[in-house]
Amino acid sequence: MAELYPFRALHYDPAAVGNLSKVVTQPYDKISSDMQARYYEAHPANLVRIILREKSDSAENFYREAAREFRSWIENGAVVSERDACFYPYAQEYEVPGTSGERRSRWGFIGLLRLEDYPARIVHRHEETLSGPKADRLELLKATRANFGHIFMLYSDPAGAVENLFRGEIAARPWQQATDEYATNHRVWRVSDPGVIEPVVEAMRGKRLVIADGHHRYETSLSYRNLRREEAPGDDRAEHVMATFVPMESEGLLILPTHRVVHGLTNFDWNRFSADARGFFDWTELTVAGSADRELGEFLERSGRERPSLIAYGGDGHAALLRLRQQADLPRGLTDLPEGLRGLDVVLLHRLLLEDVLGIDPQAVREQKNLRYVPEIQQAVQEVDGRHAQISFLMNPTPITAVWENALAGQVLPQKSTDFYPKLLSGLTFYWMDNPAGQ
My answer on whether 162 and 266 are in the same domain is no
* % of the chain residues with pLDDT over 70: 95
pLDDT digits (tens, 9 = 90+) for 81-105: 999 999 999 999 999 987 888 999 9
Report if residue 319 sits inside a domain. Answer: yes
Does 438 map to a domain? no
What is the torsional sign of CA 12, 13, 15, 16?
negative
Mean pLDDT, the chain, whole residue set: 91
Query: Total structural domains in the chain?
Result: 2
Does 406 reside within a domain? no
Choose the weakest-confidence range: 344-348, 397-401, 414-418: 414-418
- Cβ distance 20 to 40 under 8 Å? no
DSSP assignment of 381-422 equals HHHHHTTS-SEEEE-PPPPHHHHHHHHHTT-PBPTT--EEES
Q: What is the pLDDT of residue 45?
A: 97
In a shared domain, residues 246 and 161: yes
pLDDT band with cut points at 50, 70 and 90 for residue 289: low
Residues 22 and 145 in one domain: yes
CB distance 130 to 19 below 8 Å: no
The answer to whether residues 369 and 298 touch, using CB atoms and an 8 Å cutoff, is: no
pLDDT at 329: 61
121-125, 216-220, 339-343, 424-428: range with lowest mean pLDDT? 339-343
User: What is the DSSP annotation of 312-344?
Assistant: EEEETTEEEEEEE-TT--HHHH-TTS-HHHHT-
Q: Cα separation of 65 and 215, whole Å?
A: 25
Q: Is there a domain that residue 278 lies in?
A: yes
Say whether both 363 and 283 belong to one domain.
yes
Which structural domain, as residue segments, surrounds residue 207?
Answer: 4-254+421-432
150 within domain boundaries: yes
pLDDT band at 372 (very low <50, low <70, confident <90, very high): very high
- Separation CA 158–CA 147 (nearest Å): 30
Average pLDDT value for residue range 228-250: 94
- 121: pLDDT confidence band, cut at 50, 70 and 90? very high
How big, in percent rounded to 5, are the helix, strand and coil portions of the chain? Answer: 35, 25, 40
Which of 94, 46, 37 has the alpha carbon at shortest distance from 70? 46
311 and 233, same structural domain?
Answer: no
How much is the pLDDT for 241?
98
Q: What is the pLDDT of residues 295-351, one digit of tens each?
A: 777 889 899 888 899 999 998 889 999 998 876 666 556 777 777 787 899 999 998
Residues 32 and 127 placed together within one structural domain of the fold: yes
Is residue 437 in a domain? no
